[in-house]
Structure 1
Amino acid sequence: MTLIERLNDDMKTAMKNKDKARLSVIRMVRSSVKNKEIELKRPLSEDEALDVVAKELKQQKDSLVEFEQAGRDDLAEKARSEIAVLQSYLPEPLSEQELKGIIQEAITETGASSKADMGKVMRAVMPRVKGRADGQLVNRLVQESL
């Protein structure tokens, strides 16, 4: 079952169960997917749909930080619940150890030896960890490894 099919099925289930919070998040994601399809003028691939969900997740995490800094506990709690729903649509995240292994492989493949080669390593690593690791974490680990 593709991600888009899963979203449609889960939306129907949320409607039947009157789960307004989950339904709202699913509608938001479906809307973002549809907007991306209109922008590209074609249906999205599975990877592109995952990118849309990952982008929505990142926006919610950024909002959560802002709400917590502003002392808006009500909005922060809503953002946390939306983050939980969004994470259920993404693949299982990589552990830091698995990520370090992938980074070491990329460093070996690219022959990187200094921080000047960071771009080469990031270009090799990011496609492998797409949707399974945060870019900031990858960046930090690559810097530590070089």
Structure 2
Amino acid sequence: MSLKERLQEEMKSAMRAKDKERLSTIRLMLAELKRVEVDERIELSDERILAILDKMQKQRRDSISQFEQAEREDLAAKERSELEVIAEFLPEPLGEAELNALIDAAIAEVGASSMADMGKVMALVKPKAQGRADMSEISKAVKGRLA
């Protein structure tokens, strides 16, 4: 079952359970996927869907921090609940040891020795870590190793 089909099945079960918050978040995800499909006139692969969900997750994290700074706990709570639902459809997050091993393997494969090679390293790491780790954190880790 593809990720999109899984989302559609979860939407049906949320409707049956009358879980309005979960249903609205799943509809939000499906609407974003549909928007991308229509805009680009393509059928989305699971990898692309993961990238889109990862982006949505990042947007929720940014919104939560902004709402907390503005002392709007009601809005931050809504974003947190959306973040939890989105996270259900992403693969298991990488542990720190796994992430470090992935970065080390990419650096060794590319033969990276300076910051000039960072793009090559990130190009190898990104597809393997998409949806499983925050790309900004990976970027910081790669910079730390190459500096």
Superposed pair shares fold, TM > 0.5: yes
Measure how far apart 1:96 and its partner are: 1.1
1:76 counterpart residue number: 76
Cα distance in 2 for residues equivalent to 1:120 and 1:11: 39
TM-score, normalization by structure 1: 0.96
TM-score, normalization by structure 2: 0.95
Q: Deviations over 1:69-103 (max 9, x none)?
A: 10001111111111000000000010111011011
Measure how far apart 1:42 and its partner are: 2.1
Instruction: Please give the secondary structure, in 2, of the residue aligned with 1:126.
Output: helix
Letter in 2 for 1:34: K
Letter in 1 for 2:114: S
Stretches of structure 2 that go unaligned for 5 or more consecutive residues are: none
1:93 counterpart residue number: 93
Question: After alignment, is 69-78 or 41-50 more displaced?
Answer: 41-50
Cα distance in 2 for residues equivalent to 1:30 and 1:131: 17
Measure how far apart 1:116 and its partner are: 2.4
CA separation of 1:118 and 1:5: change in aligned 2, threshold 3 A = same
Measure how far apart 1:130 and its partner are: 1.5
Instruction: Please give the secondary structure, in 2, of the residue aligned with 1:93.
Output: coil
Indicate the RMSD between aligned Cα atoms, in angstroms.
1.0
Residues 124-139 of structure 1 correspond to what in structure 2 (within 5 A)? 124-139=124-139
Number of aligned positions between the proteins: 146
1:12 counterpart residue number: 12
2:66 counterpart residue number: 66
Moved runs in structure 1, 4+ residues, more than 4 A? Answer: none
Task: Give percent identity, aligned residues only.
Answer: 49
Q: Deviations over 1:22-44 (max 9, x none)?
A: 00100000000001110121211
1:106 counterpart residue number: 106
